[in-house]
Amino acid sequence: MNRQAQTVVLLLTGGALLHAGFTDLYLRYVKAGLQPLLISAGVVLIAVAIATLWYDRRTTRHSQAQTQTQGHEHEQAHAHHEPRVSWLLVLPLLALVLVAPPAVGSYTAMRTGAALQQQPWGYPTLPADGTLRLSVADYAGRAVYDKGRALAGRPLKVTGFLALDGAGTPYLVRMALNCCAADAQPVKIALSGELPAVLRPDTWIEVTGTYTPKQTKDPVNGTAVPFLDVTTTKPVKAPQDPYDEAWNG
């Protein structure tokens, strides 16, 4: 890989990082906290490309005057090469800019064991009346570890995306993220009750329902998965950040 090609790849990679960092695209792949790092990395990569161009021009201009320093010229010529493996940097670039793969969804969720952790400091008390809005992880945590205390007998609203297991059981899922999509883990709620006739995986819905003490076990890792008794469902827009990041503090 010669120097000009390197400059192009560096420039494009930096540009792609900036593009992902300034739009919401990066939220599909990494946690929100990485945004400043992504943007600064993009700036540095572009700076490297510009510096390479600038020093190349200077070297060309001064090369006549430096005829006696042939040894250095020789070594510099060596430095122009990088192994062919550097070309692979083009792949994530193409994937990010042209394809922009979606956030991990039902396929990964159903292959990965549910993640649910007991909060050691317990669960804060909920407002006493009205419809409760809970995150998937909050409902699942309270249902499994808090025995549904303060949930029973009141209307609940939970938002997540749909996933179906092999037997066709519907789940409401939200992926919890720690660092990047490679470590995303699903938090699952099994759904029962009044469900729409057609269930399409990966569609985002808001479920209104009530607590039920029924539980099942995740077939993949045996974690407890609570049920939610659904009364109505409503399709909603996918949230800006598809992942639940509150989970790890």
Instruction: Restricting to residues 73-102, name those near other proteins by CB under 8 A.
Output: 73-83, 85-92, 94-96, 98-99, 101-102
Q: Is residue 144 near other proteins by the rule CB under 8 A?
A: no
Q: Is residue 24 near other proteins by the rule CB under 8 A?
A: no
Which residues face 232 on adjacent strands? 208
CB 228 within 8 A of CB 191: yes
Q: Is residue 246 near other proteins by the rule CB under 8 A?
A: no
Q: For other proteins, which stretch binds (CB under 8 A), given 71-79, 122-130, 146-154, 165-173?
A: 71-79
Q: How many Å apart are CA 169 and CA 217, to the nearest integer?
A: 13
Q: Is residue 26 near other proteins by the rule CB under 8 A?
A: yes
CA distances from 23 to 16, 108, 237, 248 (A): 11, 24, 17, 24
Q: How many Å apart are CA 112 and CA 117, to the nearest integer?
A: 15
The shares of helix, strand and coil residues in the chain, as percent rounded to the nearest 5, are 40, 25, 35
Beta strands in 120-217 (DSSP E): 132-134, 156-164, 170-176, 185-193, 204-217
Strand, helix or coil for residue 120: coil
Q: Is residue 233 near other proteins by the rule CB under 8 A?
A: no
Q: Is residue 28 near other proteins by the rule CB under 8 A?
A: yes
Of 38 and 192, which has the nearer Cβ to other proteins?
38
Task: State which of residues 48, 144, 150, 199 lies at the interface with other proteins (CB under 8 A).
Answer: 48
Task: State which of residues 107, 133, 149, 216 lies at the interface with other proteins (CB under 8 A).
Answer: 107
Task: State which of residues 32, 152, 179, 246 lies at the interface with other proteins (CB under 8 A).
Answer: 179
Return phi, psi of residue 158, to 5°: -130, 140
Q: Is residue 69 near other proteins by the rule CB under 8 A?
A: yes
Of 27 and 158, which has the nearer Cβ to other proteins?
27
